[in-house]
Amino acid sequence: HETGPRHTPTSTLANGPVISPPHTVDAFVKAFLHELNFGQGVPLSRSSVNDQYLALARTVRSYLMARWLETARRRRTDKPAKMVGYLSAEYLLGRQLDNALLATELTDIATEAMVACGIEIDDLRQQEVEPGLGNGGLGRLAACFIDSMATLGASSIAYGIRYEYGIFQQTFVDNRQVEKPDAWLSMGGPWGVVHPEMEVPVNFGGHVETYVGEDGRERRRWTPAWGVMALRYNYMVPGYQNGVVNTLRLWRARATESFDLHIFNAGDYAEAVRAQTFAENISKVLYPEDSTPQGKELRLQQQYFFVAASIKDFIQHTMPKDFDVRDLPERIIFQLNDTHPVIGIPELMRILLDEHDLEWEEAWAITKQCFAYTCHTLLPEALEVWPVSLMERLLPRHMEIIYRINEDFVAELRETYPGDELRVRRMSIIADHPERSVRMAHLATVASVKVNGVAALHSELLKEKVLNDFSELWPERFTNVTNGVTPRRFIKLSNPEQSKLISDTIGKGWVANLDRLEELVGYADDADFREKFRAVKAHNKTRIRNVLVSRDGIALPEGHLLDVMVKRLHEYKRQSLKLLHIVTLYDRLISGEVEPSTVTPRTVVFGAKAAPGYAMAKETIFLINSVAQTVNNDPRVDGRLFVAFPPNYNVTLAEKLIPAADLSEQISLAGKEASGTGNMKFALNGALTIGTDDGANVEIRQLVGDENFFLFGMTEPEVAELQAKGYRPGEYYERDPQLRRAIDLIASGHFTKGSRDAVSSFVGDLLYNDRFLALADYAAYIEAQDKVEAAYGDQDNWSRMAILNVARTGFFSSDRSIRDYIDRIWHVKTGV
Q: List residues near ligand F58 by CB under 6 A.
A: 135-138, 141, 289-291, 293, 376, 382, 454, 483, 673-677, 695
Q: Which is nearer to ligand F58, 137 or 647 (CB)?
A: 137
Query: Shortest Cβ distance from residue 296 to ligand F58 (Å)?
Result: 11
Least Å from the CB of residue 436 to ligand F58: 22
Task: Round to whole Å and give the CA distance between 758 and 625.
Answer: 13
Q: Is position 568 annotated as part of the catalytic site?
A: yes
3-state secondary structure 426-447: HHCCEECCCCCEEEHHHHHHHH
Which member of 71, 151, 486, 677 is catalytic? 677
Pick 584 or 814: Cβ nearer ligand F58 = 814
Q: At its nearest, how many Å lie between ligand F58 and the CB of residue 575? A: 14
Least distance (Å) between residue 89 CB and ligand F58: 7
For residue 599, give the 3-state DSSP assignment.
coil
Q: Strand, coil or helix: what is 505?
A: helix
Active-site hit among 140, 376, 560, 672: 376
What sign does the dihedral 319-320-325-330 (CA atoms) show?
A: negative
In the three-class reduction of DSSP (H, G, I as helix; E, B as strand; rest coil), residue 218 is classed as strand
Helix (H, G, I), strand (E, B) or coil at 521: helix
Q: How many whole angstroms separate alpha carbon 42 and alpha carbon 35? A: 9
257-265 vs 269-280: helix crossing angle, rounded to 10: 160
Please identify the residue of the shown chain whose CB is closest to the bound ligand F58: 137
Residue 67 to residue 63: CA distance in whole angstroms = 8
Helix/strand/coil for 828: coil
* Residue nearer to ligand F58 on the CB measure, 572 or 751: 572
Nearer to ligand F58, 169 or 367 (CB): 169
3 state SS for 379-400: CHHHCCEEEHHHHHHHCHHHHH
CB of residue 774 vs ligand F58: minimum separation in angstroms? Answer: 18
Of 232, 439, 477, 681, catalytic: 681
Active site residue 436: no
Judge whether 73 counts as a catalytic residue: no
* Nearest distance from C-beta of residue 286 to ligand F58, angstroms: 9
697 or 708, CB closer to ligand F58? 697
Nearer to ligand F58, 133 or 604 (CB): 133
CA angle 406–409–415, rounded 5-degree value: 140
How far, in Å, CA of 643 to CA of 832, rounded? 48
Decide: 134 and 167 in contact? Cβ < 8 Å. yes
> From the candidates 568, 574, 609, 816, which is the catalytic residue?
568
- Asked if residue 442 lies in contact with residue 424, where contact means CB atoms within 8 angstroms, the answer is no
Burial label, 540 (beta-carbon count in 10 A; 0-12, 13-18, 19+): buried
CB nearer ligand F58, residue 294 or residue 761:
294
Catalytically annotated residue among 573, 578, 800, 816:
573
Q: Of the listed 252, 489, 560, 567, which one is catalytic? A: 567
CA angle 428, 479, 721 (to 5 degrees): 70
Q: Is 567 a catalytic residue?
A: yes
Task: Give 190 or 341: the residue with its C-beta nearer to ligand F58.
Answer: 341
DSSP 442-478: HHHHHH-S-EEESSHHHHHHIIIIITHHHHHH-GGGE
Q: For residue 652, which amino acid is it?
A: T
> Is residue 541 annotated as a catalytic residue, yes or no?
no
Q: What is the CA radius of gyration of the chain?
A: 28
Please state the closest distance from residue 813 (CB atom) to ligand F58, in A: 15
The strand pairing partners of 201, in sequence order, are 229
Closest to ligand F58 by CB, 489 or 750:
489
Other C-beta atoms lying within 10 Å of the C-beta of residue 672: 25
Q: Shortest gap between Cβ of 189 and ligand F58 (angstroms)?
A: 23
Least distance (Å) between residue 554 CB and ligand F58: 27
Helix locations, 135-180, DSSP H = 137-151
Strand partners, 606: 565
681 is catalytic: yes
CA 69 from chain centre, in angstroms, equals 28
Catalytic residues: 376, 567-568, 573, 677, 681
